[in-house]
Amino acid sequence: MTEEVRDNREEQAREIAGRLLTEGNVDGVLALLHVMDHVVPHLFTSREELAHLNISGHYPVAGVAERLLRRWDNNGRIAVIARGCDERHLIELAKKKSVNLDRIKIVGLACTVDEAKDCHCVRPFPTEVEVGRSVGKVDYLDHFALGELIRMDIAERRKFWTQIFDRCIKCYGCRNVCPLCNCEDCRLEEARWVRVGEIPPEYPSFHLIRAVHLADKCVGCFACERACPMGIPLGKLHQLIRDYLQSVYGYEAGRDPDERSPIQIDVGIGPDVLQGLRRGGED
């Protein structure tokens, strides 16, 4: 049954992509391509290639879209076949001014129940579904594991996280794979924040600086956790932080490009503060 839905989605996606390519209002369609026994992100630019368009697989394509558009400066407009999380990534990237949503046509792809379960997803659909059928709001979070983390007292958590962070090999995979970890100058790379050339990386800076930076941006895609070779449950840590912002401010990242993060620095203040600093502390 699931198979049936899947096949159907692929055809739908191909059809939409084909239409977009011929109608000529995009330069390419970013989606997944089936080659041999693998599925890889690919920019489809001709109808002929579409026979191999695939929709399975979990590559966070928003990051690719952002990098491509940046490389091509102000030219170009692409379509992205985007799952719910991909769309939320794009929305957060737009808030960061990293992408201009006018240059992206989002083709919403709904995930199947199995896919949603795989990702521990709560919102396996984009705002507008064009491919597949939304399975609605679900809750496949790993509540058992999350509960364990919550139940522990501070000392137990300390033991748990220091042990587990100590495994880290500083591959930067969690950062590289996350579309929202796209700062030009990453503090995790700067020696004054995290000592360089050491594994495990400096505790707690490496992991907590990233946690703080992503706190109000993370859309809960779990890509970081999947990319971590050392089995560090980063996605779960982020989920707990997301829960905090949800419960205190009712805020959820990735919902709406016009919604502001509750903990964002007020831009009205920023320049003043900075000016003060530049004047070297004089009035």
Partner 1 sequence: MNYKTIQSTCPYCGCGCGVYLEVVDEHLVGTMPVINHPISHGGLCIKGWAAHEFVESEDRIRRPLWKRGANLETTDWNSALYMVSERLQAIKQMYGPDSIGFLSSAKCTNEENYLFMKFARSVVGTNNLDHCARLCHAPTVAGLAKAFGSGAMTNSVPELEKASCILITGSNTTENHPMIASRIIKAREKGAFVIVIDPRRIHIANHSDLFIQPRLGTDVAWINGMMNMIFLEGWHNRKFIEERTEGFEELERVFSKYTPEKVREITGIEPDLLKQAARVYAQSPASAIVYTMGITEHITGTDNVMSLANLAMLTGQIGKRGSGINPLRGQNNVQGACDMGALPDVFTGYQKVLDPEAHYKFEKAWGTNLPTEPGLTVVEMIDAAAAGDLKALYVMGENPMLSDPDINHVREGLSNLELLVVQDLFINQTAELADVVFPAQSFAEKAGTVTSTDRRIQRIRKAIDGVGQARTDWEIICELAGLMGAKGFDYKTPIEIFEEIRSLTPSYAGITYSRLDSEELQWPCPTEDHPGTEFLHEGKFTRGLGSFTPVEWRPPAEVPDEEYPYFLTTGRVHFHYHTGTMSRRSPTLNREMASAVADINPLDAEDLGISERDMVRVSSRRGEVKIRARLTQTVPKGTIFIPFNFQESAANALTNSDRDAISKIPEFKVCAVKVEKAAARR
Partner 2 sequence: MKTEDETKETRASEIETDVFQPRVAVFHCRWCLPDEENVRSFLPAEVAKRASFMKLNCTGRMEAEFAVKALGAGYDGVLVLGCQIGECHYRTGNEQAWKRLALLSNILALAGVYPERLGVHWADPFDEGTTKRIVNSYIDGLLAIGPFK
Residues constituting the chain? 283
Among 74, 154, 191, 258, binds partner 2 (CB under 8 A): 154
Check binding of 232 to partner 2 (CB under 8 A).
no
CB of 26 to ligand SF4, least distance (A): 25
Among 101, 183, 196, 248, binds partner 1 (CB under 8 A): 196
**CB contact at 8 A, 56 and 6:** yes
**CB contact at 8 A, 122 and 220:** yes
Q: Which residues pair with 78 in a beta bridge?
A: 28, 104
Check binding of 161 to partner 2 (CB under 8 A).
yes
Check binding of 171 to partner 2 (CB under 8 A).
no
CB of 267 to partner 1, least distance (A): 31
Integer Cα distance of 192 and 206 in angstroms: 11
In the three-class reduction of DSSP (H, G, I as helix; E, B as strand; rest coil), residue 143 is classed as helix
Check binding of 161 to ligand SF4 (CB under 6 A).
no
Check binding of 281 to partner 2 (CB under 8 A).
yes
Check binding of 186 to partner 2 (CB under 8 A).
no
C-alpha distances in Å from residue 218, one per residue of 57, 111, 120, 222, 228: 20, 19, 14, 9, 16
DSSP alpha helix (H) spans, the chain: 2-23, 61-71, 84-95, 113-119, 143-151, 154-165, 173-177, 205-214, 223-227, 234-249, 270-278
Nearest one of 59, 19, 9 to 39, comparing CA atoms = 59
Check binding of 183 to partner 1 (CB under 8 A).
no
Check binding of 187 to partner 2 (CB under 8 A).
yes
Among 36, 51, 155, 191, binds partner 2 (CB under 8 A): 155
Among 16, 17, 43, 228, binds ligand SF4 (CB under 6 A): 228
Nearest one of 118, 6, 27 to 80, comparing CA atoms = 27
Integer Cα distance of 181 and 139 in angstroms: 25
Give DSSP secondary structure letters for 48-62. Answer: GGGGGEE--S---HH
Check binding of 231 to partner 2 (CB under 8 A).
no
CB of 230 to partner 1, least distance (A): 6
Interface stretch with ligand SF4, choices 70-78, 130-138, 139-147, 163-171 (CB under 6 A): 163-171
Check binding of 233 to ligand SF4 (CB under 6 A).
no
- The count of residues interacting with partner 2 (CB under 8 A) is 42
Angular region, 46: left φ>0, alpha ψ -120 to 50, beta rest: beta
Residues that bind partner 2 (CB under 8 A): 149, 152, 154-162, 187, 192-193, 202-205, 207-209, 211-212, 215-216, 237, 240-241, 244-245, 248, 262-263, 265-266, 268-269, 272-273, 276-277, 281
Residues that bind partner 1 (CB under 8 A): 27-28, 30, 33, 35-43, 45, 57-59, 64, 67-68, 71-72, 76, 166-167, 169-173, 176-177, 189, 196-197, 199-200, 226-231
